[in-house]
Amino acid sequence: MDFKSWILDISSNEWLIFIKRLSANDTGATNSHQVGVYFPNTVLARVFPSIDRKDVKNPDTYFKALVESDDVAEQTLRVIYYNNRFSENKKGGRNEKRVTRWKDGVDYMPLQDPEKTGSIAIFAFNNKPNSDSEYMRAWVCRDFEEESFLESQLGEISSQESFFDQGDVVFGAFPLQKETKSEKYPEEWNEKFPSGLDIIQFLHSNNFHTGLDPDKRILKRREHEFNLFKLVENHHVLPLIQAGFNDVEEFIKLSNSITNRRKSRSGRSLELHLENIFREQGLFSFGTQCKTEGNKKPDFLFPNCASYHDNSFSTDNLRMLAVKTTVKDRWRQILNEARRLEKSYLFTLQQGVSENQFSEMVVEGVQLVVPLELHKSYPEKIRGNLLSLNDFIEDTKSIYD
């Protein structure tokens, strides 16, 4: 079955869908003692309600599983609730639900392949309200084309975001986020939908999260921006859905409008947040979307576009920063964006890469810049070679002070 047909097959209320990007901890790239894909407690509690109890120590159950993207043979997996914090009243005890036995009885498991770190994984559990799921179907996106198709339906899927709901909701024409916190925003947004830039500038001009260091600030603002977007989207779209449609064409028009708006919001969101944080931290010497060789457009050039095109300007004082929420299969796109420079800086929110992927980046002169809080999600051998956002800013400022 091809990927699009597989998605169509699980797009009904018969399936509970969980979608995430695989972290280095998920795939085993960090050699963590916790082996296997992480699922939030709330997800496993809904899929396997029988284990969601605290009166019995470590309740568990078993289910069948098939990873169809790689033709992995059917397995029996175990889901267990480590709950001795409650069942034994153990201070500092565990309160965690896990799925285990991923490698049992199979020669290859893509969900435990470090080279799949950063890939999008889709898990479909057969939906049995108030009863445990008996079967799981999974797909690990195999290439950029499959990921692009999925994100064209759902919007950007970063390492910090996940989806969980019935298949007909997740893959429906209007997969709106149901749980949004009430928050004040400009009244005019109720009349005209704000652009992604409008939301980002609202957070910046009102000094949201400025008390945090740059590494925490970028993560918090991204989360805040997305929550505001969902809140405004619900305000605009829910009444239209509830009113119904006169014909299919009207339905499709609204569906396309929603999808295009989500793409537009996520397009340059991360770069715009970084622009604001650079200035807030006193780094003003940069150019954005400058044209370089072959009409390439790196996200940031330091100190500016003109200096890059001035052959008398020392390359020691030039820097290029590319920005990508995820880097798997995408990091090579930046290699020729600034040919004058032997080293390229790449900012990402991806939670880990494999040691092999990182070695390839080093050979190609790519230096990863990652928010400090995400460093722990990278293999231990790699962490010392990562730059935090604050380190990048301060080091870059020192060149031009």
Answer whether residue 37 is part of any domain.
Answer: yes
Host H or E run for residue 283:
none
Last residue of a domain, one of 274, 301, 326: 274
pLDDT score at 328 = 84
159, pLDDT greater than 90: no
Residue of 375 and 237 predicted with greater confidence: 375
- Written as six digits, the tokens of 189 are 């947004």
Single-letter code of the amino acid located at 97: K
Per-residue pLDDT at 252: 80
Angle between helices 248-267 and 269-280 (to 10 degrees): 30
Same structural domain, 92 and 238:
no
> Of 29-33, 147-151, 353-357, where does mean pLDDT reach its minimum?
29-33
| Range with the poorest average pLDDT among 168-172, 350-354, 386-390 | 168-172
**Considering 170, 195, 214, which residue would you say is the last residue of a domain?**
170
Mind listing the pLDDT tens digit for each residue in 245-270? 888 888 888 877 887 787 777 768 99
User: Is residue 34 very low, low, confident or very high in pLDDT (cuts 50, 70, 90)?
Assistant: low
What CATH code is carried by the domain that includes residue 379? 3.40.91.80
145 by Cβ neighbours in 10 Å (0-12 / 13-18 / 19+) ranks as: exposed
pLDDT of residue 11: 93
> Is 299 within the bounds of a domain?
yes
The pLDDT score that the predictor gives to residue 36 is 87
For the segment 206-239, what is each residue's pLDDT rounded down to a tens digit? 999 999 999 999 999 998 998 899 899 888 988 8
What are 114-156's pLDDT values in tens digits? 999 999 999 999 999 999 999 999 999 999 899 988 987 787 7
Active site residues: 308
Q: Are residues 17 and 67 in the same domain?
A: yes
**Long-range contacts from 313-316, C-beta under 8 angstroms, 24+ separation:** 315/340, 315/341, 315/342
Q: Are residues 192 and 166 in the same domain?
A: no
SS3 381: helix
End residue of a domain, out of 239, 274, 309: 274
Q: Tell me what pLDDT residue 286 has.
A: 96
Mean pLDDT of 106-119: 94
What pairing do the DSSP bridges indicate for beta strands 60-67 and 344-348? unpaired
Token look-up 């947004």 returns 189
Cis omega before residue 303 (within 30°)? yes
182: confidence class by pLDDT, cuts 50, 70, 90: low
Residues 89 and 154 in one domain: yes
Contact 327, 349 (CB under 8 A): no
Residue with tokens 């405004």: 232
CA 206, CA 210: separation in Å to the nearest integer?
9
Q: How many CB atoms lie under 10 A from the CB of residue 65? A: 20
Phi/psi for 342 (5° steps) reads -85, -20
In the DSSP assignment, the letter for residue 328 is: T
**3-class DSSP state of 188:** helix
Evaluate if pTM is beyond 0.85: no
Q: How far apart are CA 95 and CA 52, in angstroms?
A: 11
Which pLDDT does position 148 carry in this prediction? 87
Whether 163 and 305 map to the same domain: the answer is no
Mean pLDDT of 341-365: 94
H helices present in 78-159, as ranges: 84-87, 144-154
Residues 249, 383, single domain; the answer is: no
Asked if the structure places residue 293 within a domain, the reply is yes
Q: Chain-wide mean pLDDT for the chain?
A: 91
Owning domain of residue 144:
3-170
**Using CB atoms within 10 A of its CB, is residue 83 exposed (0-12), middle (13-18) or buried (19+)?**
buried
Least confident range from 3-12, 15-24, 26-35, 377-386: namely 26-35
Residue 181 falls inside a structural domain:
no
Q: Is residue 50 part of a domain?
A: yes
CA–CA distance, 285 with 145 (Å, rounded to integer): 36
Q: Are strands 60-67 and 135-140 parallel, antiparallel or unpaired?
A: parallel
Same domain assignment for residues 293 and 270 = no
Q: Do residues 121 and 53 both lie within one domain?
A: yes
Torsional sign, CA 302, 306, 307, 309: positive
Residue 304 has pLDDT above 70, yes or no: yes
Alpha-carbon distance values, 385 to 322, 356, 399 (Å)? 17, 14, 20
35 and 159 together in one domain: yes
For residue 61, the model assigns a pLDDT of 98
Determine the Cα–Cα distance for residues 376 and 390; give it in Å rounded to an integer.
Answer: 16
Which of 4, 70, 9, 79 has the alpha carbon at shortest distance from 49?
79
CATH number reported for the structural domain that contains residue 166 in this entry: 2.40.330.10
The confidence band for 201, taking pLDDT boundaries of 50, 70 and 90, is very high
Number of domains forming the structure of the chain: 3
Give domain status of residue 14, yes or no.
yes
Examine the domain organization and report whether 94 and 161 are in the same domain: yes
Least confident residue range of 57-61, 191-195, 240-244, 347-351? 240-244
d(CA 275, CA 283): 9
Co-location of 36 and 148 in the same domain: yes
- Measured distance CA(324)–CA(331) in Å, rounded: 8
Query: Greater confidence, 17 or 265?
Result: 17
**Helices 214-243 and 196-205, axial angle in degrees (round to 10):** 130
In a domain, 349, yes or no: yes
Query: Hey, what are 246's tokens?
Result: 């006169």
Q: Based on the domain organization, do 140 and 70 belong to the same domain? A: yes
* Lowest-confidence segment of 26-30, 65-69, 259-263 by average pLDDT: 259-263
Q: How would you classify the pairing of strands 319-324 and 300-302?
A: antiparallel
Measured at the alpha carbon of residue 363, what is the angle toward residues 359 and 366, in degrees to the nearest 5? 85
Tokens of 172: 């429906």
Asked, for residue 357, whether it belongs to a domain, the answer is yes
